[in-house]
Amino acid sequence: MTAEAGLPDTLRDLPVWTPDAVALADLELLLAGVYRPLTGFLGSFDAAMVIGGGRLADGTPWPVPVTLPVPKDLTAHDRVVLQDPEGVPLAVLDVAEAWQDPTSQGWRLAGPLTALRAPAHGPFHRLRRRPDEVPAADGPLLAVATREPLHRKQLGQLRQVAERLGARVLVLPLLGGGHDESLVRALLAVRRELPDGAQVVPVPLPVREGDDPARDVLIRAHVAAAYGATHLLADEEVEGTAIPVVVPEPWAYDADVEVWRPVARIEPDHVQAELTAERLGALLDAGEPVPDWFTPPAVAAELARARPPKHSRGLTVFFTGLSGSGKSTVARGLADALVERGGRTVTLLDGDVVRRLLSAGLTFSRADRDLNIRRIGYVAAEITRHGGVAICAPIAPYAATRAEVRRMVSAAGDFVLVHVATPLEECERRDRKGLYAKARAGLIPEFTGISDPYEAPDDADLVLDTSALEPDEAVDRVLDLLVSGGWVRSE
């Protein structure tokens, strides 16, 4: 694929690539100058040095590897246009190195970037600012870079530290962790409880697999410093941060006077136990109110919006198993049972039906089978995002692709995996289309269970063997799981 015709003639014939979510966020921060001194994506030596010792090859401290994953065929090019998911070109990468990640074996491109235009996508984009667009602070500037809302405890600690430093406050909502819009709304809702002049500037800082807490504090401090902050509020001190980290003194809720304040000022028997993350999650899952002593009502409303009660939350039930295992029968039975109960919007994405419509034209090669499952996952994630129940029944033989679908759906709602583990012999016995016989005769290549592997899941929430269960019994097993999990109300 080549770049769009609206580009200058010198760029029009270049290959284009849409980075994944992490690399796209990194691209925006590189172009905005937030990642200075970096001017582009890292090469193999720099990336190895950062992972191993937290420094670039020239000795400059740097906390996280900023790399660009690409398909192998792009490694043959000297220049590549990078675009957003809507096809808008954002930058040109001059390839200095194409290299293979030793851990994942995936390919990477490294080199400097030339900006074409500023990214213009995402909710609350009007609030996003380049560092050079944020007015310089006259005096200390205390930053809080967060992926979580500020509850009454954190608000009190922030005000206390800001007053002690005589600092203005900069709140940096870190986008990319899920429910970004709700996070920004929750932080905007408490602006009046922050010191005068506090600013809220969303930053698309990606969540990276394997990040440890220390590296996370280091990159947050670097981002805060890029926006002019002189101090970072954080839960722990870490050596080598770009700006000093301030750890607030412990606060608790004083049940005697019904306020949050420093623990040192509270009688021990008046300290009320804090609402744990687990307890907060249980309240939201059950649709119960979040107590006012814990968080302001506007924040509680955003928490409930981001995490609706389980009985009304979007859900994907994903069946996997061999051809003939009974997946479609159980999936159809489940869909009918949920429709009969009412209260949920149900969509059935059966493997054969999807093949005829959504994935028409795809072959049964591994690449096309993976693409088929990704398409199912994408549709299921959108159904889940909007509060519906998606019931999927493909073979889905590969663990990595199932995991990809789980991640896709889990970003939008809940995911339940059901392994229909009916033995191969029984699947062959039931085969009305004669597919297994043709596969054993070599007439159907890459047939799952015969000439191509089925990778049985080790993360299934439920395992069914329909050779030992009647269809109605299998459906009841799934319904019992959904009821006990809180997704479906009991009759």
pLDDT per residue over 238-258, tens digit each? 999 999 999 999 999 999 999
pLDDT at 209: 76
Residue type, 350: D
CA pair distance 315, 310, nearest whole angstrom:
9
Residue 386 has pLDDT above 80, yes or no: yes
What top-level class would CATH report for the domain 310-484?
Answer: alpha beta
Q: Which two tokens stand for residue 403?
A: 């995991």
The pLDDT of residue 361: 80
Distance in angstroms (rounded) separating the CA atoms of residues 17 and 134: 31
Query: What residue type is assigned to position 13 of the chain?
Result: D
Please write down the long-range contacts of 98-101, taking CB distance under 8 Å and 24 or more positions apart. Answer: 98/74, 99/43, 99/44, 101/67, 101/69
245 strand-pairing partners = 232
- Both tokens of 71, joined, read 């398909």
**Number of helical (H) and strand (E) elements in the chain, helices listed first:** 14, 20
Burial of residue 24 (number of CB atoms within 10 Å: 0-12, 13-18, 19+):
buried
In Å, how far are 81, 83, 113, 128, 236 from 32, measured between CA atoms?
Answer: 17, 15, 11, 10, 28
Residue 9 has pLDDT above 80, yes or no: no
| Intervals of CATH 3.40.50.300 along the chain | 310-484
pLDDT of residue 6: 55
At 344-371, the pLDDT tens digits run 899 999 877 788 888 888 887 888 889 9
Q: How many beta carbons lie within 10 A of that of residue 310, not counting itself?
A: 19
CATH 3.40.50.620 in the chain is located at 124-307
pLDDT digits (tens, 9 = 90+) for 98-112: 999 998 899 999 999
Question: Per the structure block, which two tokens stand in for 422?
Answer: 């009916």
List the beta bridge partners of residue 81. 16, 92
Q: Is 201 in contact with 134 (CB distance < 8 Å)?
A: yes
420 contacts 320 by C-beta, under 8 angstroms: yes
Look up residue 127 and give its DSSP letter. G
Q: What angle do CA 462, 451, 429 make, to 5 degrees?
A: 60
* Residue range(s) in the chain whose domain bears CATH number 3.10.400.10: 16-115
Cβ distance 257 to 247 under 8 Å? no
Which range among 3-7, 115-119, 145-149 has the greatest average pLDDT? 145-149
Encode pLDDT of 172-192 as tens digits. 999 987 788 999 999 999 999
Question: May I ask the CATH architecture of the domain 16-115?
Answer: Roll (3.10)
**How many residues belong to the chain?**
491
pTM: 0.87
CATH class for domain 124-307?
A: alpha beta
Helix, strand, coil percentages for the chain (3-state, nearest 5): 35, 20, 45
The 10s digit of each residue's pLDDT in 391-449 is: 999 999 999 999 999 999 998 999 999 999 999 999 999 988 888 988 898 888 888 88
